[in-house]
Amino acid sequence: MNILELAIKELLKSRIKNRAALSSFKRKIAKKYKIQCPSNIELLKAYHELLKKKTPHNNKLYTGQGIKRLEEIEALLKTRPIRSLSGIVNVSVLTKPYPCPGKCLYCPLEKGMPKSYLSGEPAAERAKRLKFNPYLQVKKRIEMLRNEGHPTDKIDLRIIGGTWSFYPKKYRSWFIKRCFDACNEKGGKNPAPEQSSVLDQSRTETKFLVRGLNEAQKLNEIAKNRIIGISVETRPDFINEKEVKFMRELGITRVELGVQSIFDNVLKLNLRGHGVRETILATKILKDAGIKICYQMMPNLPGSNLKKDEKIFEEIFSNPDFQPDYLKIYPCALLKEAPLYKLYLKGKYKPYSKEELIDLIKKIKLKIPYYVRIQRITRDIPSKYIVEGGARISNLRQIVQEEMKKEDLKCKCIRCREIREKYEPKEKICLFREDYEASGGKEIFLSFENKTRRKLFSFLRLRISFSVLKNAAIIREIQTFGEVVPIGEKKIAPQHRGLGKKLIKEAEIITKREFGLKSISVISGVGVRNYWRKLGYKLKETYMAKKI
C-alpha cells in the first residue's frame, strides 16, 4: 500500500468535513511522510485505487465507515464542484482553423487558430496541443473530469471555433462522429484520417461516414459517457430549414447565434454581414424545430452606446420575434489582433469604463425573465491580449453579483436561481407556469421552485407551433438541477425525486386539454433516448414522439 492510500485511510477515520480542514490535513500528511503536499486529484486517484482492490462486502475501507462517509470524502476531494452542480458536465471541443465568411471589426484573427479564438483560452490551448483532433479533445477532457471527481455519464457537448455552418458537411459529420466515438470509448485504435482528407472524400465514403455516425449515436444510448446535448456556434444568416435538418441528423440540440446587436446600423458599421431580419428568421426556424437558442450579445460595439445597449435587452424579451432561451453577454473586448484596434488608435472608438460596464450589466440582469439563463458574462480571453480599458475585467460576473447583493438587487435568470448544492429535501416545492409568445408560436415554461422563486429545482420548455411538426407540441428542453447523480444510482437529490417526470406529465396534459393535440415530440439528446422510451416515447426520425 502506497503513502497516498495510507493517507486516504487516515482521512476516512478523521472527522474532516470542510475544505479548510482538508488543507490542514494534507499539510500534516506531507510532513508526516516527508512528501510534497498531495493534490486533491492525487488523493482521489488513490481513493479509487483502494476501492478497486476489494468489493464493498469484504473491503475494510467500508467497514465502520458507511457509504455516507465515502460520499462525503468524494465530495470533499472533488475539484471545482460547481462543474457538475447543474446536473451535467460540460465538454468543450474546438474545430480546426478554417476560413470565416465574416469580416467583423471586433473579431481577432490568430494564425493557426479558428477565427475569433486566441491562444491562452483554456479550451483553445487544449485543442491546439491535440492538433484539434475531436476524439482526443473529448477523451482528455473526460479523463480530466474523472480525475477531479466528477461523474461523466451526462455530457453536454459544446462545439466551438469559427462558424460551424460554414465548415464542409463531411468535416462536420466526421467531427461529431469522433466526439461520439470518444464518449463511447471506441475507435481509439483506428484514428480518423487527416482532417484535410475528410474534405475530399468520395460520395461512397460520405455514405459510409453517415452510417458510421448513426451507429455511433446508437451505441451512445447505452454508453458509459452519454451525450445528453450538443451545441454549436454559427451566424444567423447561415440558418435555413435545410441546415437545421442536417443539424438534427448530427444530434445538435442547441445553437448559439452570433447576434451581437439588434440594430441594423450598428451591425452594418461593424461589417457583420447580416441584419436583424436574418436573426428573426433564424430564431423562428430553430424554435420550430425544437432547438434551444442562445444569443451571443456584444455591448459596447462601435455605433452603439449605453442607452442603446440597455434597450437591446428590453427589446429581445418584449418582442416575440426574439425571446432567446439562453444569453451570453460578451462586452466588446479591444484586441490588437482585430481591425477595431485601428479605429481605437484614431480616436474613433472608446471602450466603456469599468464603472460603466458594471452598471450596464447590473441593469441588464434586472431585465432577465425567469425562463432565461445567462450562460456567461465576458469571454475567457487572457487579459494580456486586451488593450487597457477594453473590458479587461475577467471576473465581471462576480463583481456584478457582489454589487447587486450589497444593493439588495436580484437577478431572476436560471443560473442565479438553480439550486446546485443548496438542496433541502424537506423544502416545499411549488409548480410555476409562464406563457409567452415567441416566433409565431406559444412558449410554456414549467418549473418547480420554492415559494419565493429564489431556488429553481427543475424546468421544462414546451412549444406549441404548427410550422414544422404538424399536429404536435414539442418539448424543447427539460432539466433538473443539483449534483450529478450517476445513471443507475439512487441518492437524495432533485434528480431522483421524479420532478422531471412530473413536468413531462403536466406538459402532456396541457398539450391535450388546452390545445387538443394528439401527440407530443421531444428534441432529445442521443444519450437520453432510453429515458424517454421508459415514458412511452418512440424514436421518429430525429425526435422522440408519443401519442397522447
Neighbours of 49 (CB within 10 A): 14
Asked whether residue 499 is domain-assigned, the answer is yes
Would 98 be classed as within a structural domain?
yes
Q: Write the CA distances from 256 to 279, 422, 474, integer angstroms.
A: 12, 29, 20
pLDDT 10s digits, 312-335: 999 999 999 999 999 999 999 888
Same domain, 27 and 167: no
Asked if the structure places residue 286 within a domain, the reply is: yes
C-alpha grid cell for residue 265? 446600423
pLDDT by residue for the chain (548 residues), tens only, comes to: 688 888 888 887 787 878 788 888 888 888 888 888 888 777 877 777 777 665 444 455 544 455 556 667 777 777 665 555 556 889 999 999 998 888 999 998 888 999 888 888 878 888 999 999 999 999 999 998 888 788 899 999 999 998 999 999 999 999 999 999 999 998 765 454 444 444 444 455 555 566 799 999 999 999 999 999 999 999 999 999 999 999 999 999 999 999 999 999 999 999 999 999 999 999 999 999 999 999 999 999 999 999 999 999 999 999 999 999 999 999 998 888 899 999 999 999 999 999 999 999 999 999 999 999 999 998 878 777 888 665 678 789 999 999 999 999 999 999 999 987 656 667 889 999 999 999 999 999 999 999 999 999 999 999 998 665 556 799 999 999 876 555 655 555 555 578 999 999 999 999 999 999 999 999 999 999 999 999 999 999 999 999 99
Query: Is residue 319 classed as helix, strand or coil in its secondary structure?
Result: coil
Question: Are 58 and 91 members of one domain?
Answer: no
Domain boundary among 58, 77, 96: 77
Measured from the Cβ of residue 346, the count of other Cβ atoms closer than 10 Å reads: 8
Task: Summarize pLDDT for 214-261 with one digit per residue, the tens.
Answer: 999 999 999 999 999 999 999 999 999 999 999 999 999 999 999 999
The β-bridge partners of 546 are 520
**Does residue 160 share a domain with residue 50?**
no
- Residue 425 in any domain: the answer is no
At 330, the amino acid letter reads Y
Three-state DSSP class for 328?
strand
Residue 421 in domain: no
Instruction: Please report how the helices 169-184 and 203-220 are oriented relative to each other, as an axis angle in degrees rounded to 10.
Output: 30
Report the distance separating Cα 474 and Cα 519, nearest Å: 9
Q: Does residue 88 share a domain with residue 69?
A: no
Strand order in the sheet with 430-438: 430-438, 441-449, 456-464, 472-480, 519-522, 543-547, 538-540
E strand intervals along 404-469: 430-438, 441-449, 456-464
Residue 330 maps to which CATH number? Answer: 3.20.20.70
Q: Are residues 92 and 199 in the same domain?
A: yes
Question: Do both 70 and 151 map to the same domain?
Answer: no
Q: Is 424 part of any domain?
A: no
Are residues 398 and 438 located together in one domain of the fold?
no
φ and ψ of 500, to 5 deg:
-60, -45
Strand partners, 158: 92, 231
- Among the candidates 372, 389, 416, a domain finishes at 416
DSSP state of 413: S
Note the residue count of the chain. 548
Q: Measuring CA to CA, how many Å separate 15 from each of 10, 41, 87, 182?
A: 10, 20, 28, 39
| Residue 423, in any domain of the structure | no
Residues 92 and 144 in one domain: yes
CATH value at residue 467:
3.40.630.30
Strands 292-297 and 254-260: parallel
How far apart are the C-alpha atoms of 512 and 478, rounded to whole Å? 19
Residues 193, 138 share a domain? yes
Domain hosting 310: range is: 81-416
Cα distances (Å, whole numbers) of residue 25 to 1, 10, 52, 347 = 19, 9, 24, 56
Residues 303 and 393 placed together within one structural domain of the fold: yes
**The total number of structural domains that make up the chain:** 3
Residues 297, 92: Cα–Cα separation, whole Å:
20
Residues 6+ apart with CB under 8 A from 485: 151, 491, 493, 495, 496
Task: Say whether both 405 and 298 belong to one domain.
Answer: yes
CA distance 482 to 497: 11
- 422, part of any domain: no
Looking at the fold, whether 176 and 58 belong to one and the same domain comes out as: no
Which one of 416, 447, 480 terminates a domain?
416
